[in-house]
Structure 1
Amino acid sequence: MRVLKFGGTSVGTIASLRNVLSIVEKASKEDRLIVVVSAFGGVTDQLLKAGLLASKNDPSFNSVFDAIKRRHLEVATAFGIEEETTSKLYSYLSELEDMLRGIYYINELSEKTTNRLCAYGELCSSLLITEAMKLEGLSVNRKNATELIITSNGKSKQTIRYAATNANITSYFQTSSERITVLPGFVAATETGELTTLGRGGSDYSAAILAAGVAASEVQIWTDVSGMFTANPKLVKQARPIATISYQEAMELSHFGAKVLYPPTIVPVMLRRIPIQIKNTFSPEAAGTLITHEGTERTLSVSGLTNIDSISLITLEGTGIVGIPGISKRLFETLSQQSINVILITQASSEHSICVGILDNEASFAKQAIDSEFENEIQLEKMQPLLVETNLSIIALVGDNMKNHQGISGKMFSTLGKNNINIRAIAQGASEKNISAVIASKDVKKALNALHERFFEDQRKQLNLYIAGVGNVGGKLINQITQQKQYLKEKLNLNIRVIGITNSRKMHFNTDGISLKDHKTLLEVEGVLADMDVFIKNAISLNKRNSIFVDVTASDLVAASYSKFLKQSIAVVACNKIACSSDYENYRNLKELSTKYNAPFLFETNVGAGLPIIDTLANLMASGDEITSIEAVLSGSLNFVFNNFKKEATFHDTVKQAQAEGYTEPDPRIDLSGIDVARKILILARESGMEMNLEEVINKPFLTEENLNSSSVSHFYETLKKDEAYFQKILGKAQKKGAQLKYVAQLKDGKASVGLEEIPEGHPFYNLEGKDNIVLFYTKRYHEQPLIIKGAGAGGEVTASGLFSDIIRMRTY
Structure 2
Amino acid sequence: MAPPPSAVADDAILSNGYSDDETLLRRNPVSAQWIIQKFGGTSLGKFAEGIAEDIVKPSTDNHRIAIVCSALSTGTKAEGTTSRLLRAAAAALHPRSKEHNEIVAAIASDHLAAAKELISSAELQAEYAASVEAECTRLLSFLSAAQVLDEISPKTKDIIIGAGEKLSCLFMTALLRDRGVDAEYVNLENIIHPASTGAALTQEFYTDVGLSIAERVRACGDRIPVVTGFFGTVPGSLLASIGRGYTDLCAALLAVGIGAEELQVWKEVDGIFTADPRKVPQAQLIPVITPEETAELTYWGSEVIHPFTMEQVIGAKIPIRVKNVMNPAGHGTVIFPDDLMEGMPSPAAVLKPRFKRPTAVTTKTDITILNVRSNRKNLSHGFLAGIFRILDSRRLTVDMISTSEVHVSMALHTDTPARQVAVMVAAKELENWGTVDISRGLTILAVVGKHMKKMVGVAGKMFQTLAQSGVNIEMISQGANEINISCIVKEHDALKAMTILHTRLFLYSEDDA
Coarse TM-score class (shorter-chain normalised)? 0.7 to 0.9
Superposed counterparts of 1:312-327, under 5 Å: 312-320=368-376, 324-327=380-383
Aligned to 1:387, what secondary structure does the other structure show?
strand
Are 1:66 and 2:105 an aligned pair? yes
Rounded to whole Å, the distance in 1 between the matches of 2:98 and 2:439 is 39
Label 1:166 to 1:5 Cα distance change in 2 as closer, same or farther (>3 A).
closer
Change (3 A) 1:3 1:117: same
Contact 1:150 1:190 (8 Å CA) reproduced:
no
CA distance in 2, matches of 1:360, 1:194: 23
2:285 counterpart SS class: coil
Paired amino acid for 1:318: S
Residues 17/49 of structure 1: CA separation in 2 closer, same or farther (3 Å cut)? farther
1:765-796 Cα distance to aligned partner (Å, 9 max, x none): xxxxxxxxxxxxxxxxxxxxxxxxxxxxxxxx
Is residue 36 of structure 1 aligned with residue 68 of structure 2?
Answer: yes
SS at match of 2:171: helix
- Could you say which residue in structure 2 is the equivalent of 1:365? 422
Counterpart mapping for 1:763-774 below 5 A: none
Q: How far apart, CA to CA, are the structure 1 residues paired with 2:501 and 2:132? A: 49
- Contact 1:33/1:179 (<8 A) preserved: no
Query: 1:25 deviation in Å?
Result: 1.5
Residue 332 of structure 1 deviates from its aligned partner by 3.0
1:138 equivalent in structure 2: 181
Per-residue CA deviations over 1:232-272 (Å, capped at 9, x if unaligned) read 12221222211111111111111211113333321111211
1:105-254 equivalences under 5 Å are: 113-148=156-191, 161-173=205-217, 175-191=219-235, 198-254=242-298
The 1:344–1:30 alpha-carbon spacing in structure 2 relative to 1, beyond 3 Å, is: same
Question: 1:285 — aligned with what?
Answer: 329
Q: Which residue of 1 aligns with 2:449?
A: 399
1:120 Cα shift? 1.8
**Identical counterparts, % of pairs:** 30
Equivalences for residues 480-491 of structure 1 within 5 A: none
Distance of aligned partners of 1:283 and 1:166 in 2 relative to their CA distance in 1, 3 Å threshold = closer
Residue of structure 1 in register with 2:40 after alignment: 7
Relative to structure 1, is the Cα distance of residues 359 and 453 closer, same or farther in structure 2, using a 3 angstrom cutoff? same
The one-character-per-residue Cα deviations of 1:467-526 (angstroms, maximum 9, x if unpaired) are xxxxxxxxxxxxxxxxxxxxxxxxxxxxxxxxxxxxxxxxxxxxxxxxxxxxxxxxxxxx
Equivalences for residues 422-461 of structure 1 within 5 A: 422-458=472-508
Q: For the pair shown, which has the larger CA radius of gyration, 1 or 2? A: 1
Deviation, 1:181, is 1.6
Identify the residue that residue 418 of structure 1 maps to in structure 2.
Answer: 468
Partner SS, residue 394 of structure 1: strand
Distance in 1 between residues matched to 2:487 and 2:291, nearest whole Å: 22
Q: For 1:332, what is the secondary structure of its paired residue?
A: helix
> For residues 45 and 367 of structure 2, what CA distance do their matches in structure 1 show?
30
Question: CA 1:201–1:353 in 2, change beyond 3 Å: closer, same or farther?
Answer: same
Cα–Cα, structure 1 residues 99 and 149, in superposed 2: closer, same or farther, change >3 Å? closer
The CA deviation string for residues 579-628 of structure 1, in whole angstroms up to 9 with x for no partner, is xxxxxxxxxxxxxxxxxxxxxxxxxxxxxxxxxxxxxxxxxxxxxxxxxx
Structure 1 match to 2:86? 48
Deviation (angstroms), 1:330: 3.8
* Structure 1 residue 51: Cα displacement: 4.1
Find the partner of 1:335 among 364, 387, 391: 391
Letter in 2 for 1:454: R
Distance in 2 separating the partners of 1:176 and 1:290? 28
Which residue of structure 2 aligns with residue 309 of structure 1?
A: 365
Counterpart of 1:27 (choices 47, 59, 74) is: 59
Distance 2:367 2:219 in 1: 48
Contact kept in structure 1, 2:207 and 2:253, CA below 8 Å: no
Q: Distance in 2 between matches of 1:409 and 1:150?
A: 51
Corresponding residue to 1:259 among 300, 303, 325: 303
Deviation at 1:95, TM superposition (A): 2.7
Q: CA deviation at 1:202?
A: 3.0
- The letter of the residue matching 1:121 is G
Change (3 A) 1:345 1:111: farther
Letter in 2 for 1:270: I
**2:132 is aligned with 1:89:** yes
Residue of structure 2 equivalent to 1:664: none
Cα contact 2:367–2:412 (8 A) shared by 1: yes
- Output the CA distance in 2 between the equivalents of 1:387 and 1:114: 39
- The one-letter amino acid of 1:286's match is G
* Cα-to-partner distance string for 1:175-224 (whole Å, 9 max, x where unaligned): 45234222122544225998878322332222112212222111001111
Q: 1:110 to 1:313 in 2, by over 3 A?
A: farther
Deviations 1:110-146 (A, max 9, x none): 7655443322211100111122223333343222233
Q: TM-score, normalised by structure 2?
A: 0.78
Aligned to 1:684: none
CA 95–432 in structure 1, closer or farther in 2 if over 3 Å, else same: same
Q: What is the distance in 1 between the residues matched to 2:327 and 2:219?
A: 35
Partner in structure 2 of residue 276 of structure 1: 320
Q: CA deviation at 1:66?
A: 3.2
Asked whether 1:352 is paired with 2:407, we answer: yes
1:316-348 superposed Cα distances (whole Å, 9 cap, x missing partner): 321549863244344334433433333223324
Q: Which runs of 5+ in 2 are unaligned?
A: 1-33, 74-79, 339-349
Distance 1:196 1:345, change over 3 A: closer
Question: CA 1:62–1:328 in structure 2 vs 1: closer, same or farther (change >3 Å)?
Answer: same
- Give the aligned partner of residue 771 of structure 1: none
Q: Cα distance 1:342–1:123, how it changes in 2: closer, same or farther (>3 A)? A: farther
CA distance in 1, matches of 2:241, 2:408: 38
For residues 377 and 64 of structure 2, what CA distance do their matches in structure 1 show? Answer: 59
Structure 1 Cα separation of the partners of residues 228 and 215 of structure 2? 18
Structure 1 range deviating more: 180-189 or 251-260: 180-189
Structure-2 change in CA distance of 1:333 and 1:169 (3 Å):
farther
- Change in CA separation of 1:149 and 1:225 when aligned onto 2, cut-off 3 Å: farther
Is the alpha carbon distance of 1:230 and 1:312 closer, same or farther for their aligned partners in structure 2, counting shifts above 3 Å? same
**One of 344, 347, 353 as aligned partner of 1:298:** 353
Measured in 1, the distance between the counterparts of 2:49 and 2:389 equals 46
Residues 298 and 63 of structure 1: CA distance in aligned 2, closer, same or farther (over 3 Å): same
Counterpart among 12, 16, 27 of residue 48 in structure 2? 16
Distance, in Å, in 1 between the alignment partners of 2:85 and 2:310 is 28
Is the partner of 2:105 in helix, strand or coil?
A: helix
**Structure 2 CA distance for aligned equivalents of residues 418 and 113 of structure 1:** 56
SS of match in other structure, 1:301: coil
**Cα deviation per residue 1:270-328 (whole Å; 9 max; x = unaligned)?**
21121011111111011211110137222542111112122222233215498632443
Secondary structure of 2:352 counterpart: coil
Separation in structure 2 between the aligned mates of residue 422 and residue 367 of structure 1, nearest angstrom: 25
**Partner AA of 1:314 in structure 2:** L
RMSD of Structure 2 on Structure 1 (CA): 3.3
What's the TM-score, normalizing by structure 1? Answer: 0.51
Residue aligned with 1:325, SS: helix
CA contact 1:398–1:434 (8 Å) conserved in 2: yes
- Evaluate the alpha carbon distance shift between residue 215 and residue 341 of structure 1 in structure 2; reply closer, same or farther with a 3 A threshold: farther
| 1:633 corresponds to | none
Amino acid across the alignment from 2:367 = I
